[in-house]
């Protein structure tokens, strides 16, 4: 809130008046906050600031999220490629009883401030004739490869785990798989990421008899602004 006030004609310009004006301009705690409220200074617009004038620590929420679509895959049981199927069976379909993976690629945004990000698969556990079937386990594993253009610099894999999902009627029930934290990104260059979600359908802990439909991955990172 402003420290200075209106001054009547011929009012002496005292030290107090001067100091109030000085506080309005220079004080870090008493000066104008420029919120646009009466007495608080004109509201500052975005283009009023110089580039990089606001440090990242002053931005309350720097968490960024985006979705990456699964675009292809591989079925090791018959050596066949897996492709998107838009009608009735969304995403990349991983069959029951076989080892197969869904795959997607993306470029990590350059506004990141940390050397890490988190990736989490989004999938549909299968189709059931019932609105809510009992939970069944699908044994899955996430592999991530990281690199700049033409060079792989890092790779990460979480431990295969039997995760319980609920098959639902007409593919309505979206599920998140276990998240994987990726660290050790040492370059400021654009980073290319390849994500694969494996299903080990013949694993003893894979108790689901349903197909698994991988839609893609939710990626989360911390931005600088």
* Domains of the chain: residue spans and CATH: 15-48 (no CATH), 63-222 (2.60.120.260)
**Contact 221/114 with Cβ under 8 angstroms?**
yes
Instruction: Give the per-residue pLDDT at 52.
Output: 61
| Cβ-Cβ contacts under 8 Å for 163 (sequence gap 6 or more) | 137, 138, 139, 140, 177, 178
Which structure tokens are listed for 219?
């990626």
Question: Which residues lie below 8 Å from residue 181, measured CB to CB, with a gap of 6+?
Answer: 116, 117, 118, 156
Residue 1 has pLDDT above 60, yes or no: no
| Cβ–Cβ < 8 Å for 68, 216 | yes
CB 217 within 8 A of CB 122: yes
- Mean pLDDT score across all residues of the chain: 76
For residue 24, what pLDDT band results from cuts at 50, 70 and 90?
A: low
CB neighbourhood size of 156 (10 A): 18
Within a 10 A sphere around the Cβ of 117, how many other Cβ atoms? 22
- In the three-class reduction of DSSP (H, G, I as helix; E, B as strand; rest coil), residue 47 is classed as helix
Judge whether residue 201 has pLDDT over 70. Answer: yes
| Confidence band of 180 (pLDDT split at 50, 70, 90) | confident
Q: Is the overall model pTM greater than 0.85, yes or no?
A: no
Tell me the DSSP string of 112-167: B-SS-EEEEEEEE--EESSSBPPPEEEEEEEEEEEEETTEEEEEEEPPPEEEEE--
Confidence of residue 105 (pLDDT cuts 50, 70, 90): very high
Confidence category of residue 97, pLDDT binned at 50, 70, 90 = very high
Higher pLDDT, 140 or 2: 140
Q: Report whether pLDDT(216) > 90.
A: yes
* Phi, psi for residue 207 in degrees, rounded to 5: -100, 0
Q: Out of 49-53, 68-72, 193-197, pick the least confident.
A: 49-53
Which residue is it, tokens 């109030």?
A: 20
Non-local CB neighbours of 222 within 8 Å, separated by 6+ positions? 62, 63, 64, 112, 113, 114
> How large is the average pLDDT for residues 14-36?
66
Question: Given this model, what pLDDT does residue 175 score?
Answer: 80
Kindly tell me if the per-residue pLDDT of 203 is higher than 80. yes
117: closest CA among 129, 105, 130, 108?
108
pLDDT exceeds cutoff 90 at 43: no
């Amino acid at each position: 809130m402003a420290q200075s006030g209106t001054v009547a004609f011929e009012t002496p310009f005292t030290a107090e008046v001067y100091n109030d004006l000085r506080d309005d301009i220079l004080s870090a705690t008493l000066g104008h906050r420029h919120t646009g409220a009466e007495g608080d200074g004109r509201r500052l617009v975005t283009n009023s600031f110089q580039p990089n004038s606001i440090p990242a620590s002053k931005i309350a929420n720097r968490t960024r999220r985006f979705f990456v679509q699964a675009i292809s895959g591989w079925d090791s049981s018959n050596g066949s490629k897996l492709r998107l199927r838009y009608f009735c069976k969304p995403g990349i379909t991983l069959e029951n009883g076989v080892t197969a993976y869904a795959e997607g690629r993306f470029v990590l945004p350059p506004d990141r401030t940390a050397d890490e990000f988190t990736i989490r698969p989004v999938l549909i556990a299968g189709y059931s004739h019932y609105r809510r079937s009992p939970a069944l386990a699908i044994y899955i594993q996430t592999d991530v490869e990281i690199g700049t253009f033409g060079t792989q610099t890092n790779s990460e894999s979480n431990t295969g785990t039997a995760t319980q999902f609920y098959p639902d009627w007409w593919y309505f029930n979206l599920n998140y798989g276990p998240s994987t934290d990726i660290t050790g990104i040492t370059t400021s260059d654009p980073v290319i990421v390849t994500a694969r979600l494996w299903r080990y359908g013949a694993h003893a802990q894979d108790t689901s008899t349903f197909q698994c439909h991988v839609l893609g991955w939710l990626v989360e990172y911390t931005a600088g602004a």
